[in-house]
Amino acid sequence: MLTLVGTLAPITRNSLLHGFMLTNERVFLKQFFSRYHTTGSVLPSSRALAGALCRYVGEEGRRAQGTGRSVGDKGQHILEVGPGTGAVTASLVTKMLPSDRLTLVELNDDFVRHLRDRFEKEPAFAAVADRTEILHTRLEDLPQEGRFDLIISGLPLNNFAVAEVEAILDIFARLIAPGGTLSFFEYIAIRRVKALVSGRAGRERLRGIGAALHRTLDGREIKRDWVWPNVPPAWVHHVRWNDE
């Protein structure tokens, strides 16, 4: 237990973790008000949502995915898109096997700085830092096709233009390895709710996004998780690409 001179109470491991959580939420809230278009929520993802997004990470995830791989295999190359402050990443790093590698793609400057700080200072993050790459770039600038065994996306797709959503989904299809899995979320019934308060152009945009998502999910969605303990509640879609 650490105690700092001049403090009124000892600093324990739990209080340190609580401090990190408050910092995460503060950074996230700042970005929500300044960049709602790409943040999409007032709070970071809950532990329940993070766990659902990381369903296919690690040993249990491989068994659930049916890959047949074991700890001694070459490992999974995992891509997390839009990690933000690392709410999902915090669950992901605890599930990774020693042979797994992680790539994070984040465009927001403040989030990138915050993530790098977490990989330097937090034990669970630091434990996989040598197998993690943080790319401060756009998703569309990632090179190589069929590179990732798992893609986990935190992008708020329902905030984007239809053409942007279609482009993102096409990039996911290009980057995923044969037999790989994409896991992404959307807030439950969000398009229906938004349509009630949107004008004609907004409703057309939402219908276009729904059609784009349907084309990706149709025949590929292997599981859908309903995550109620999140603000707001969410669906997590798990999509499997075979050799196409």
Torsion-angle region of residue 189: left (phi > 0), alpha (psi -120 to 50) or beta? Answer: left
Torsion sign (Cα): 164, 233, 183, 23: positive
Measured CA to CA, the distance from residue 239 to residue 216 in angstroms comes to 8
Rounded to two decimals, the pTM is 0.81
Provide the pLDDT for residue 242: 74
Provide the pLDDT for residue 5: 32
Q: Residue 40 is part of which domain span? A: 13-240
Determine, yes or no, domain membership for 137. Answer: yes
Q: Are 223 and 238 in contact (CB under 8 A)?
A: yes
pLDDT digits (tens, 9 = 90+) for 208-241: 999 999 999 999 999 999 999 988 899 999 999 8
Provide the pLDDT for residue 244: 53
Which residues of the chain are under the pLDDT cut of 50? 1-22, 27-29, 31-42, 70-72
Provide the pLDDT for residue 36: 43
Determine, yes or no, domain membership for 3. Answer: no
- The CATH number given to whatever domain includes residue 157 is 3.40.50.150
Provide the pLDDT for residue 23: 56
Determine, yes or no, domain membership for 166. Answer: yes
Provide the pLDDT for residue 38: 42
Provide the pLDDT for residue 195: 86
Provide the pLDDT for residue 73: 65
**Number of domains present in the structure of the chain:** 1
Determine, yes or no, domain membership for 8. Answer: no
Provide the pLDDT for residue 106: 96
Token digits of residue 32: 């929500």
Determine, yes or no, domain membership for 1. Answer: no
Q: How many residues does the chain have?
A: 244
pLDDT digits (tens, 9 = 90+) for 97-122: 999 999 999 999 999 999 999 999 99
Torsion sign (Cα): 94, 97, 99, 101: negative
Determine, yes or no, domain membership for 5. Answer: no
Phi then psi for residue 195, to 5 deg, are -65, -30
